[in-house]
Structure 1
Amino acid sequence: MAVDRERVSALVRELLVAIGEDPDRPGLRLTPQRVSETYAEFFSGVGEDAAAPLAHTISVATGPAPDTLPSGAVMLRDIRFRSVCEHHLLPFSGHAHIAYLPGEQVVGLGALPKVVDILASRPQVQERLGEQIADTISSSIDCRGVLVVLDATHQCVTMRSGRQSESSTVTIAARGAFADAVARAELIALIGRNRE
């Protein structure tokens, strides 16, 4: 379902009136249209199939590199994401770190950020976003475990009342073999490891 830009624009105009502003003054005249275009981008994941990027898998036994079977986890760190908190409609953004323990099939690494983008492009809470990413991966590909760590800064925390500008929120979602804290400890350490 696509965002109804005309309706969003009309509602933003009403919002400006409701806060005591003049939506016809020069600085605000184009604001309703700008916000509707922004919302069309921010909420483009509503109604999209987050599993679609994972539909094409590669056999590790008979694929292009059968001599390089993974013996451990596959991890992609520092996937940039942004979303909008459903409680205040303020942005939050950060990094997603995803690891999975492959079975006989793997996916192209570019598919994982696409899953994050689709699920983040909806009104969200960080805790649910991580769980949805983990569920999508674990139910769509042949894997023995999934770990999703999200580290994000929320404008509802950094810009409202207490204004904790340096704070970030970390959430962990784990499935299969990584549901055990000991099994995921090495991966958590790798996520935090500095790059040289």
Structure 2
Amino acid sequence: MTLAFAYVRASTQEEVRQGSNERQKEVIRQCAEPRGYELEFFEDKAKSGKNTQRPEFERMLKSLDLRPKVVIVSKIDRFARSLSDLLRTLEYLDQKGVGFVSVNDPGIDTTTPNGRLLLQILGAFAEFERNIINSRTKAGREQAMNKGVKFGRPALKTRNGNFIDRRKVLELKGKGLSARAIAKSMECSVTPILSILKETP
């Protein structure tokens, strides 16, 4: 028989108690049996899918040297919660020569030409979305700067609301004054003075 890795995950203890993982396993078995796959299960319980830092998920990826033919899940949201995580992991599987099947997501089967094509299309859309977001961010920043909005760390102020002159701080430091003495001279707390001195090489 051909080895296949099966990944199941429940987000919460309540899902575990309600048998979510067992239902996922049954769905996967029904898919694997006609294909002649011998299943090895990797099961995360009460683990969020917001990232890939899940014990059994990571163990599965580290076990790919056992040369499974495919990784099977019942549904993509059990495997990854973002398109970027999904594509990054599938690219890694592809590099290892391992296919991917999501039973309840029609067309997500990289062991077929159509499935590979669909993932290429998803990858292209993900890149397009990133480019659009970057363009909008850049345009919004430029528009804000044209209106006088300043970006970066806010200027430090004295107790009276006046801006602290960084050059003056460094000048006093050069004369041998301590941070506390500089703060007293400029009528501000010592914290912003220490911050300026720390930032200056």
> Aligning the two structures, in what range does the TM-score lie when normalised by the shorter sequence?
under 0.3
Q: Which has the larger radius of gyration?
A: 2
What TM-score, normalized by structure 2, do the two folds share? Answer: 0.25
Q: Which has the higher contact order (CA 8 A, sep 6+)?
A: 1
What TM-score, normalized by structure 1, do the two folds share? Answer: 0.25
Structure showing the higher helix proportion among its residues: 2
Structure showing the higher strand proportion among its residues: 1
